Amino acid sequence: MASARNGALTLNRVLRRALDYVLGAGLFLLAFALTTSSSWFRSHYPYLGYFAASLLACFLFGLGPANLVAILAALAVYRTYSPAGILVTSTQTPFTAAMAVLILLAGANWMLGSLKTSRDRLAAERERYARLAESRDVLYRELQHRVSNNIQIISGLLLLQSQAVSDKAAKRALSEASGRISLIARIQRRLHSAGGERAPFNLFASELLTDAIAAAGASAVALDIEGGEQPLHEDQATPVSLVLLECVNNALEHGFAPETGGRVSVSLVQEGGHYVLTVTDDGKGLPDGFDPQTERSLGLKIVRTMASQLNGEFSMSALQRGVACRLRFPPAAAQG
């Protein structure tokens, strides 16, 4: 079966190649008819038609059919010798005139064929590199998916372990760790669109925070997002997202009373060559005696660690109503 298919393919290639030679010969006949039928053409440009036929055959059918045209043109010059112009002069014999035409046509064919071959090779290389790039993107997306799934499995294992622990503090610590690891898995999934392109920060943050608000049962809290029309660098997206979610979750947990409405505003802008992420809320504000610089809660430890990883600075301050959290960090290229 396979041998029969290969034989059919080979036969088709041979027939197509034979057709190229036939069409090349047809171009020669057309040039010959034009040269011999027009006295003006024969007296002024007797060999121009052969050059055109040869070059056209080379461009359309390849070097072999073009050289066939060159050979037939040389034979035609030998049989219909007519001195004219600088190509064939009165000092030449029919044989030398035919050889001159043959050499010039073959040289022109070779140059055009070389250029065409180089162009075809370049096109093939571009196609190959495009396929490799596509394969790389597919493999990368698959890797991202598998990493996300593995992280989710770890989160599930921690959650199961928390259910088997009787100590309340340990149970809560394991549950919080499970939630944060699950969050990283969600970030990994949403960093890229279905087509593999990195999602703009504002779209990515909107989906992530909408889920966080729903999970907290704070449907009365409105969300505003400004800026962030471009995607963040892949090395920065996860730590920035963790800082963002810690700030928003803190506002949802401590800033608003249950069933109470409010507003959380998020912005990501560039100031002085740095990114500035700002999260504000109009909730209760900071409790009395709270000092962000000395507070040792796990959430703030995570935020400070992420800010350090970004080579950035994190600050938290009280507003007339609510709290403002601010993360300032350089672009990935500037971190060195």
With a cut of 70, say whether residue 31 has pLDDT above it: yes
3-state secondary structure labels for all residues of 203-223? HHHHHHHHHHHHHCCCCCEEE
pLDDT at 265: 92
Give the pLDDT mean for 247-256. Answer: 84
The set of long-range contacts for 151-154, using a CB threshold of 8 Å and a minimum separation of 24, is 151/181, 151/182, 151/184, 151/185, 151/188, 152/182, 152/185, 154/181
Using pLDDT thresholds of 50, 70 and 90, give the confidence band for residue 86: very low
Residue 296 corresponds to which tokens in the numbers above? 């040792």
Mean of per-residue pLDDT scores for the chain: 78
Q: How far apart are CA 185 and CA 220, in angstroms?
A: 27
Q: How far apart are CA 28 and CA 23, in angstroms?
A: 9
Tens digits of residue pLDDT in 165-202: 777 777 777 776 777 777 777 776 666 555 556 778 88
Q: Is 88 or 277 the better-scoring residue by pLDDT?
A: 277
Residue 167 corresponds to which tokens in the numbers above? 């100590």
At which residue do the structure tokens 């608000």 appear?
A: 213
Give the pLDDT mean for 10-26. Answer: 83
With a cut of 60, say whether residue 335 has pLDDT above it: no
Tens digits of residue pLDDT in 264-304: 999 999 888 899 999 999 888 887 777 777 777 777 888 88
At which residue do the structure tokens 């969600």 appear?
A: 186
pLDDT at 267: 92
pLDDT at 132: 76
Using pLDDT thresholds of 50, 70 and 90, give the confidence band for residue 9: low
With a cut of 80, say whether residue 147 has pLDDT above it: no
pLDDT at 325: 92
Residue 252 corresponds to which tokens in the numbers above? 């949802």
Architecture of domain 200-335: 2-Layer Sandwich (3.30)
Q: 313: which strand partners? A: 328
Phi, psi of 198 (to 5 degrees): -70, 135
pLDDT at 329: 92
Tens digits of residue pLDDT in 212-224: 888 777 778 888 9
Phi, psi of 266 (to 5 degrees): -125, 135
Identify which of 21-35, 278-292, 309-323 has the greatest average pLDDT: 309-323
With a cut of 70, say whether residue 151 has pLDDT above it: no
Nearest to 198 by CA among 157, 234, 246, 167: 234
**DSSP secondary structure string, 230-258?**
SPPPHHHHHHHHHHHHHHHHHIIIIIS-T
Q: How far apart are CA 155 and CA 149, in angstroms?
A: 10
Tens digits of residue pLDDT in 113-133: 788 878 888 888 888 887 877
Cβ-count burial of 288 within 10 angstroms (0-12 exposed, 13-18 middle, 19+ buried)?
A: exposed
pLDDT at 145: 62
Helix (H/G/I), strand (E/B), else coil: 290: coil
Residue 294 corresponds to which tokens in the numbers above? 């000395």
User: Could you give the angle at the alpha carbon of 305 between the alpha carbons of 193 and 307, nearest 5°?
Assistant: 65
Give the pLDDT mean for 68-85. Answer: 75
pTM as predicted: 0.54
Residue 84 corresponds to which tokens in the numbers above? 């004219």
The stretches of 38-93 forming alpha helices (DSSP H) are 39-44, 48-61, 63-79
With a cut of 70, say whether residue 82 has pLDDT above it: no
Structural contact between residues 268 and 275, judged by C-beta atoms closer than 8 angstroms = yes
With a cut of 60, say whether residue 44 has pLDDT above it: no
- Percent of the chain beyond pLDDT 70? 78
Structural contact between residues 199 and 192, judged by C-beta atoms closer than 8 angstroms = yes
Q: How far apart are CA 62 and CA 46, in angstroms?
A: 24
Nearest to 224 by CA among 256, 283, 253, 266: 266
Q: Which of 53-67, 76-90, 108-122, 144-158 has the lowest mean pLDDT?
A: 76-90
Q: List, by residue range, all CATH 3.30.565.10 domains of the chain.
A: 200-335
Phi, psi of 126 (to 5 degrees): -60, -40
Using pLDDT thresholds of 50, 70 and 90, give the confidence band for residue 140: low
